[in-house]
Copies of this chain bind each other. A is one copy, B any other.
């Protein structure tokens, strides 16, 4: 396929940034946006993020060589259920991919509609974001030097996987593959669990008797630790529900570990604490060095 027509369903930060990158680097012949809010789509054209837009989902789907579902996680499930039946009718369906933070819930949604994972549906997840959201925050360089995880399955057409991989590689991202289960487990541990912990801590303090004092005297470490508690609550509710099995496992692993530390503190076992803190510091320093080597700031 020379230059595919890329249709982006949901023109927010991620969908907009992807479209902008694919237009800028010449990967796409044309980028078409679809969504519910015409103002955002019109803004996308003004900003040069997309070539054109439509409010008609069937028209959008029919125009696509590559269809990118870039709506929030739970809505992505609904989108998949809505569009898959129509795509079945096409002789040559488009390659379909997505950007959601959870992959298992989408796989299950596809299997509900189609009976199995469609051969041209290749689930994906760019590990990139911003504190800003919406098409106005779209940035063609958002994925450069960042990872994109694809979770191909045995039934996928190899050419479909290659096309999605080439699309992301063109944005400067490093594309890696893992299984759906592995993705959901890794993301639960490194992203979904930390968000739940930060939300739990801030809410616990906010609801305590002395919440004013608590926040008045908190400083830089607390600011960094709780930054992710300023994330979009709707998005994180959806992720917590979509990735429930892996997230519950992560919470339980963490709670068992915290319970061990608590026991060591209560017993005044300084050696245990020092060993645990030292192991954690070594692992965290190594992680920061890794991020720095990838060109992402990491102090």
A111 lies within 8 A of chain B by Cβ: no
Instruction: Indicate if the CB atoms of A191 and B219 lie closer than 8 Å.
Output: yes
- Residues of B contacting A266 in the complex (Cβ-Cβ under 8 angstroms): 244, 248
Minimum CB–CB distance for A42 against chain B, Å: 29
Instruction: Indicate if the CB atoms of A127 and B200 lie closer than 8 Å.
Output: no
Give the number of copies in the complex. 2
Instruction: Indicate if the CB atoms of B219 and A128 lie closer than 8 Å.
Output: yes
Instruction: Indicate if the CB atoms of B214 and A279 lie closer than 8 Å.
Output: no
A55 lies within 8 A of chain B by Cβ: no
- Residues of B contacting A229 in the complex (Cβ-Cβ under 8 angstroms): 277, 280-281, 283-284
A295 lies within 8 A of chain B by Cβ: no
A285 lies within 8 A of chain B by Cβ: yes
A52 lies within 8 A of chain B by Cβ: no
CB-CB nearest in chain B for A233: B277
Given A127-B219, A241-B268, A233 and B186 touching (CB < 8 A)?
no
CB-CB nearest in chain B for A274: B237
A156 lies within 8 A of chain B by Cβ: no
A187 lies within 8 A of chain B by Cβ: yes
Tally of contact residues, A, Cβ under 8 A: 98
Once bound together, how far apart are the Cα atoms of A273 and B242, in whole Å?
Answer: 13
- Residues of B contacting A219 in the complex (Cβ-Cβ under 8 angstroms): 127-129, 146-147, 190-191, 291, 296
Instruction: Indicate if the CB atoms of B197 and A197 lie closer than 8 Å.
Output: yes
Instruction: Indicate if the CB atoms of B241 and A270 lie closer than 8 Å.
Output: yes
Minimum CB–CB distance for A217 against chain B, Å: 5
Residues of chain A touching chain B, judged by Cβ–Cβ distance below 8 Å, are 127-129, 131, 146-147, 149, 176, 178, 182, 185-187, 189-191, 193-208, 210-211, 213-234, 236-237, 240-241, 244, 247-248, 251-259, 261-262, 265-266, 268, 270, 273-274, 276-288, 290-291, 296, 298-299
